[in-house]
Amino acid sequence: MLRRTFVTAAASMLVALGMFHPAEAEERFITVASTTSTQDSGLFDALLPAFTAKTGITVKVIAQGTGQALDTARRGDADVVFVHAKAQELKFLEDGFGVKRYPVMYNDFVVVGPKSDPAGIAGGKDVAAAFKAIAEKKAPFVSRGDKSGTHSAELKLWTAAGIDLPAVRGEWYREIGQGMGATLNTANAMVAYTLSDRGTWIAFANKGDLGIVVEGDKKLFNQYGVMLVNPTKIPTVKVDDGQAFIDWLISPEGQAMIAGYRIGDQQLFFPNADDPKA
Protein backbone atom coordinates (compact mmCIF):
# COMPACT_ATOMS: atom_id res chain seq x y z
CA MET A 1 0.00 0.00 0.00
CA LEU A 2 2.59 2.50 1.14
CA ARG A 3 4.84 1.46 -1.62
CA ARG A 4 2.09 1.94 -4.17
CA THR A 5 1.44 5.47 -2.90
CA PHE A 6 5.09 6.20 -3.20
CA VAL A 7 5.36 4.95 -6.76
CA THR A 8 2.19 6.75 -7.80
CA ALA A 9 3.44 10.03 -6.38
CA ALA A 10 6.74 9.70 -8.19
CA ALA A 11 5.08 8.77 -11.45
CA SER A 12 2.56 11.59 -11.36
CA MET A 13 5.38 14.04 -10.71
CA LEU A 14 7.17 12.87 -13.84
CA VAL A 15 4.00 13.00 -15.90
CA ALA A 16 3.28 16.54 -14.72
CA LEU A 17 6.75 17.49 -15.73
CA GLY A 18 6.41 16.07 -19.19
CA MET A 19 3.00 17.61 -19.79
CA PHE A 20 4.17 21.12 -19.21
CA HIS A 21 7.03 21.20 -21.58
CA PRO A 22 7.40 24.81 -22.57
CA ALA A 23 6.66 26.09 -26.01
CA GLU A 24 10.22 27.38 -25.88
CA ALA A 25 12.67 27.71 -28.77
CA GLU A 26 11.83 26.79 -32.33
CA GLU A 27 9.94 30.07 -32.44
CA ARG A 28 11.55 33.14 -34.05
CA PHE A 29 13.43 35.19 -31.52
CA ILE A 30 16.31 37.58 -31.19
CA THR A 31 18.40 38.37 -28.16
CA VAL A 32 18.89 42.00 -27.26
CA ALA A 33 21.56 43.03 -24.79
CA SER A 34 20.29 46.18 -23.18
CA THR A 35 20.56 48.25 -20.06
CA THR A 36 18.88 47.97 -16.71
CA SER A 37 17.36 51.42 -17.23
CA THR A 38 15.29 50.33 -20.23
CA GLN A 39 14.06 47.29 -18.35
CA ASP A 40 13.60 48.74 -14.86
CA SER A 41 11.68 51.70 -16.28
CA GLY A 42 9.19 49.32 -17.87
CA LEU A 43 9.80 50.62 -21.42
CA PHE A 44 10.39 47.20 -22.92
CA ASP A 45 7.25 45.76 -21.38
CA ALA A 46 5.35 48.43 -23.28
CA LEU A 47 7.20 48.21 -26.61
CA LEU A 48 7.96 44.57 -27.19
CA PRO A 49 4.45 43.09 -27.37
CA ALA A 50 3.61 45.50 -30.21
CA PHE A 51 6.74 44.54 -32.13
CA THR A 52 6.13 40.82 -31.61
CA ALA A 53 2.51 41.15 -32.68
CA LYS A 54 3.55 42.85 -35.87
CA THR A 55 6.48 40.68 -36.91
CA GLY A 56 6.11 37.39 -35.04
CA ILE A 57 9.60 37.86 -33.65
CA THR A 58 10.03 37.41 -29.90
CA VAL A 59 12.60 39.68 -28.29
CA LYS A 60 14.59 38.32 -25.38
CA VAL A 61 16.12 41.10 -23.37
CA ILE A 62 19.20 40.61 -21.23
CA ALA A 63 19.31 43.68 -18.99
CA GLN A 64 22.84 44.58 -17.94
CA GLY A 65 24.97 47.68 -17.57
CA THR A 66 26.05 49.20 -20.90
CA GLY A 67 29.62 47.89 -20.58
CA GLN A 68 28.46 44.40 -19.72
CA ALA A 69 25.83 44.46 -22.48
CA LEU A 70 28.50 45.31 -25.05
CA ASP A 71 30.69 42.50 -23.67
CA THR A 72 27.81 40.08 -24.02
CA ALA A 73 27.52 41.08 -27.66
CA ARG A 74 31.29 40.80 -28.17
CA ARG A 75 31.14 37.21 -27.00
CA GLY A 76 28.42 36.57 -29.55
CA ASP A 77 25.61 36.05 -27.09
CA ALA A 78 23.33 38.78 -28.45
CA ASP A 79 22.06 39.93 -31.84
CA VAL A 80 21.35 43.55 -31.04
CA VAL A 81 22.70 45.98 -28.45
CA PHE A 82 20.53 48.82 -27.18
CA VAL A 83 22.54 50.96 -24.77
CA HIS A 84 23.37 54.49 -23.70
CA ALA A 85 27.05 55.41 -23.59
CA LYS A 86 28.08 56.93 -26.90
CA ALA A 87 31.82 56.69 -26.37
CA GLN A 88 31.65 53.00 -25.56
CA GLU A 89 29.28 52.42 -28.48
CA LEU A 90 31.67 54.12 -30.92
CA LYS A 91 34.53 51.99 -29.59
CA PHE A 92 32.36 48.92 -30.18
CA LEU A 93 31.78 50.01 -33.80
CA GLU A 94 35.44 50.83 -34.28
CA ASP A 95 36.42 47.33 -33.11
CA GLY A 96 34.17 45.97 -35.83
CA PHE A 97 31.57 44.41 -33.54
CA GLY A 98 28.73 46.66 -34.63
CA VAL A 99 27.35 47.23 -38.11
CA LYS A 100 25.95 50.73 -37.69
CA ARG A 101 24.79 52.84 -34.80
CA TYR A 102 21.29 54.34 -34.88
CA PRO A 103 20.24 56.98 -32.37
CA VAL A 104 16.83 56.03 -30.94
CA MET A 105 15.80 58.27 -28.10
CA TYR A 106 17.03 60.18 -25.13
CA ASN A 107 16.04 60.80 -21.63
CA ASP A 108 17.98 62.67 -19.05
CA PHE A 109 19.76 61.99 -15.83
CA VAL A 110 18.70 63.51 -12.59
CA VAL A 111 20.64 63.95 -9.39
CA VAL A 112 18.65 62.35 -6.61
CA GLY A 113 19.21 62.99 -2.93
CA PRO A 114 17.69 62.94 0.53
CA LYS A 115 15.34 65.60 1.82
CA SER A 116 17.90 66.58 4.47
CA ASP A 117 20.17 67.68 1.58
CA PRO A 118 23.51 67.66 3.43
CA ALA A 119 25.35 69.21 0.47
CA GLY A 120 22.82 72.04 0.11
CA ILE A 121 22.30 71.58 -3.61
CA ALA A 122 18.56 71.09 -3.88
CA GLY A 123 16.81 73.10 -6.57
CA GLY A 124 19.98 73.86 -8.50
CA LYS A 125 20.32 73.67 -12.27
CA ASP A 126 24.10 73.44 -12.46
CA VAL A 127 25.12 69.82 -12.09
CA ALA A 128 28.85 70.64 -12.05
CA ALA A 129 28.42 72.94 -9.08
CA ALA A 130 26.26 70.37 -7.32
CA PHE A 131 28.86 67.61 -7.77
CA LYS A 132 31.55 69.97 -6.55
CA ALA A 133 29.53 70.71 -3.42
CA ILE A 134 28.96 67.00 -2.77
CA ALA A 135 32.68 66.28 -3.03
CA GLU A 136 33.68 69.21 -0.88
CA LYS A 137 31.19 68.41 1.87
CA LYS A 138 31.98 64.72 1.53
CA ALA A 139 28.24 64.09 1.43
CA PRO A 140 27.43 60.38 0.91
CA PHE A 141 27.15 59.48 -2.77
CA VAL A 142 26.28 56.06 -4.20
CA SER A 143 27.89 55.21 -7.54
CA ARG A 144 26.78 52.43 -9.88
CA GLY A 145 30.41 51.43 -10.32
CA ASP A 146 29.49 48.86 -12.99
CA LYS A 147 30.79 50.36 -16.24
CA SER A 148 27.21 51.11 -17.23
CA GLY A 149 26.12 54.09 -19.30
CA THR A 150 24.98 55.84 -16.14
CA HIS A 151 28.30 55.10 -14.49
CA SER A 152 30.31 56.56 -17.34
CA ALA A 153 28.00 59.60 -17.42
CA GLU A 154 28.63 60.07 -13.72
CA LEU A 155 32.40 59.87 -14.17
CA LYS A 156 32.21 62.51 -16.91
CA LEU A 157 30.26 64.76 -14.58
CA TRP A 158 32.96 64.59 -11.88
CA THR A 159 35.52 65.62 -14.47
CA ALA A 160 33.27 68.43 -15.66
CA ALA A 161 33.00 69.64 -12.07
CA GLY A 162 36.77 69.78 -11.85
CA ILE A 163 36.92 67.00 -9.28
CA ASP A 164 39.80 64.55 -9.40
CA LEU A 165 37.77 61.63 -8.14
CA PRO A 166 40.61 59.19 -7.40
CA ALA A 167 42.27 61.89 -5.29
CA VAL A 168 39.26 62.88 -3.21
CA ARG A 169 37.24 59.75 -2.98
CA GLY A 170 36.80 58.39 0.49
CA GLU A 171 34.20 56.73 2.60
CA TRP A 172 31.53 59.13 1.36
CA TYR A 173 31.81 57.72 -2.16
CA ARG A 174 30.34 54.24 -2.37
CA GLU A 175 30.62 52.11 -5.47
CA ILE A 176 28.18 49.23 -5.29
CA GLY A 177 28.60 47.60 -8.70
CA GLN A 178 24.89 47.03 -9.25
CA GLY A 179 22.01 48.13 -11.45
CA MET A 180 20.09 51.38 -11.26
CA GLY A 181 17.26 50.08 -9.10
CA ALA A 182 19.62 48.51 -6.58
CA THR A 183 21.58 51.75 -6.51
CA LEU A 184 18.45 53.76 -5.73
CA ASN A 185 17.51 51.30 -2.99
CA THR A 186 20.98 51.74 -1.54
CA ALA A 187 20.87 55.53 -1.77
CA ASN A 188 17.52 55.49 0.01
CA ALA A 189 18.87 53.28 2.78
CA MET A 190 22.14 55.22 3.17
CA VAL A 191 20.61 58.68 2.95
CA ALA A 192 22.91 59.46 0.05
CA TYR A 193 22.93 61.22 -3.31
CA THR A 194 23.10 59.36 -6.58
CA LEU A 195 22.75 59.86 -10.30
CA SER A 196 19.83 58.14 -12.01
CA ASP A 197 18.26 58.11 -15.42
CA ARG A 198 14.89 59.75 -15.23
CA GLY A 199 12.99 56.74 -16.54
CA THR A 200 14.14 54.39 -13.79
CA TRP A 201 13.66 57.13 -11.22
CA ILE A 202 10.02 57.72 -12.19
CA ALA A 203 9.21 54.03 -12.30
CA PHE A 204 11.07 53.32 -9.07
CA ALA A 205 8.60 52.46 -6.34
CA ASN A 206 10.72 52.66 -3.20
CA LYS A 207 11.61 56.36 -3.24
CA GLY A 208 11.35 56.84 0.53
CA ASP A 209 12.99 60.11 1.49
CA LEU A 210 14.67 60.60 -1.87
CA GLY A 211 13.77 63.34 -4.30
CA ILE A 212 15.22 65.05 -7.35
CA VAL A 213 17.73 67.71 -6.28
CA VAL A 214 19.21 68.76 -9.62
CA GLU A 215 17.71 68.42 -13.10
CA GLY A 216 17.54 70.18 -16.43
CA ASP A 217 21.26 70.75 -17.05
CA LYS A 218 22.31 70.00 -20.65
CA LYS A 219 25.16 67.91 -19.28
CA LEU A 220 22.55 65.48 -17.97
CA PHE A 221 21.41 64.54 -21.46
CA ASN A 222 21.30 60.73 -21.95
CA GLN A 223 21.28 59.36 -25.50
CA TYR A 224 20.32 55.77 -26.38
CA GLY A 225 21.68 54.04 -29.47
CA VAL A 226 20.96 50.70 -31.04
CA MET A 227 23.32 48.53 -33.12
CA LEU A 228 23.16 45.24 -34.94
CA VAL A 229 26.04 42.98 -33.97
CA ASN A 230 28.37 42.48 -36.93
CA PRO A 231 27.79 39.07 -38.58
CA THR A 232 31.29 39.09 -40.05
CA LYS A 233 32.62 38.93 -36.46
CA ILE A 234 29.83 36.82 -35.00
CA PRO A 235 28.41 34.50 -37.68
CA THR A 236 25.46 33.37 -35.53
CA VAL A 237 23.86 36.83 -35.47
CA LYS A 238 20.28 36.83 -36.73
CA VAL A 239 20.79 39.61 -39.22
CA ASP A 240 17.31 39.96 -40.72
CA ASP A 241 15.29 39.71 -37.54
CA GLY A 242 17.73 41.90 -35.62
CA GLN A 243 17.64 44.56 -38.31
CA ALA A 244 13.85 44.31 -38.36
CA PHE A 245 13.81 45.22 -34.68
CA ILE A 246 16.11 48.19 -35.24
CA ASP A 247 14.08 49.38 -38.23
CA TRP A 248 10.94 49.17 -36.16
CA LEU A 249 12.44 51.13 -33.26
CA ILE A 250 13.40 54.02 -35.53
CA SER A 251 10.23 53.82 -37.63
CA PRO A 252 7.47 56.37 -37.03
CA GLU A 253 5.45 53.64 -35.31
CA GLY A 254 8.25 52.68 -32.89
CA GLN A 255 9.14 56.28 -32.23
CA ALA A 256 5.52 57.12 -31.49
CA MET A 257 5.27 54.25 -29.03
CA ILE A 258 8.40 55.43 -27.24
CA ALA A 259 6.96 58.92 -27.00
CA GLY A 260 3.70 57.46 -25.78
CA TYR A 261 5.16 55.47 -22.89
CA ARG A 262 4.16 57.22 -19.72
CA ILE A 263 4.10 56.55 -16.05
CA GLY A 264 1.39 58.65 -14.49
CA ASP A 265 1.44 61.74 -16.65
CA GLN A 266 5.18 61.78 -17.20
CA GLN A 267 6.85 60.97 -20.48
CA LEU A 268 10.05 59.04 -19.80
CA PHE A 269 11.79 58.85 -23.15
CA PHE A 270 11.99 61.29 -26.08
CA PRO A 271 12.42 59.75 -29.53
CA ASN A 272 15.09 61.37 -31.71
CA ALA A 273 15.96 58.86 -34.42
CA ASP A 274 15.78 61.73 -36.88
CA ASP A 275 18.75 63.49 -35.28
CA PRO A 276 21.83 61.98 -36.99
CA LYS A 277 24.20 63.74 -34.59
CA ALA A 278 22.62 62.28 -31.46
Partner 1 sequence: MRDTTSLLPLIVRDLRLERDGRVLLDVPIARIQNRQRNVILGPNGAGKSLFLKTCHGLVPPTSGSIEFTRPASAADNRRKQAMVFQKPVMLRRSVRANFMHALAMAGVGWRERRRIATETMAQFGLSSLADMPARVLSGGEQQRLAIARAASLWPDLLFLDEPTSSLDPTASRQIEDMLEILHERGVTLVLTTHDLGLARRFADVILFFHNGRLVEESNAERFFTAPQTPEAKAFLEHRLFW
Partner 2 sequence: MQQDAISTASILSLLLGDGGHFLGIIFLSLQVTITAVTCAGLVGLPLGAALALSRFPGRTVIIVLVNTMMGFPPVVAGLAIFLLLSRSGPLGDMGLLFTPKAMMIAQFVLVLPIIVALTRQTIEDLWTEYQDHLTSLGAGRLRSIPTLLWDARFSLVTTLLAGLGRASAEVGAILIVGGNIAGFTRTMTTSIALETSKGDLPLAMALGVVLMSLTLAINSLAYGISRVGARFSGKS
Q: Which of 3, 21, 218, 277 binds partner 1 (CB under 8 A)?
A: 3
Shortest Å, Cβ 179 to partner 2: 5
68-82 per-residue burial string, b: 16 or more CB within 10 A, e: under 16:
bbbbbbbeeebbbbb
Q: Rounded to the nearest whole angstrom, what is the least distance from the CB of residue 12 to partner 2 in the complex?
A: 12
Q: Does 23 help bind partner 1 (rule: CB under 8 A)?
A: no
* Listed residue (73, 53, 76) closest to 64, CA to CA: 73
Rounded Cα distance between 141 and 150, Å, is 14
Q: How far is the CB of 195 from partner 2 (least distance, A)?
A: 16
Q: Which is nearer to partner 1, 1 or 53 (CB)?
A: 1
| Residue 166 contact among partner 2, partner 1, none, beta carbon within 5 to 8 Å by kind | none
Q: Which does 26 bind (CB under 5 to 8 A by kind): partner 2, partner 1, none?
A: none
**Binding flag, residue 1, partner 1 (CB under 8 A):** yes
Q: Which is nearer to partner 1, 8 or 116 (CB)?
A: 8
Q: Is the dihedral of CA 268, 35, 104, 216 positive or negative?
A: positive
Q: Which amino acid is at 84?
A: H
Taking the complex as a whole, the smallest distance from the CB of residue 13 to partner 1 amounts, in Å, to 22
Residue ranges binding partner 2 (CB under 8 A): 2, 6, 13-14, 17, 20, 22, 24-25, 31, 36, 39-40, 44-45, 58, 60-63, 75-77, 178-182, 184-185, 203-207, 234, 236
Residues near partner 1 (CB under 8 A), total = 3
Out of partner 2, partner 1, none, which partner does residue 1 contact, by CB within 5 to 8 A per kind?
Answer: partner 1
Could you tell me if 177 and 156 are in contact, meaning their C-beta atoms sit under 8 angstroms apart? no
HSE-CB for 92 with a 13 A CA cutoff: 32
- Give the footprint of partner 1 on this chain (CB under 8 A): 1-3
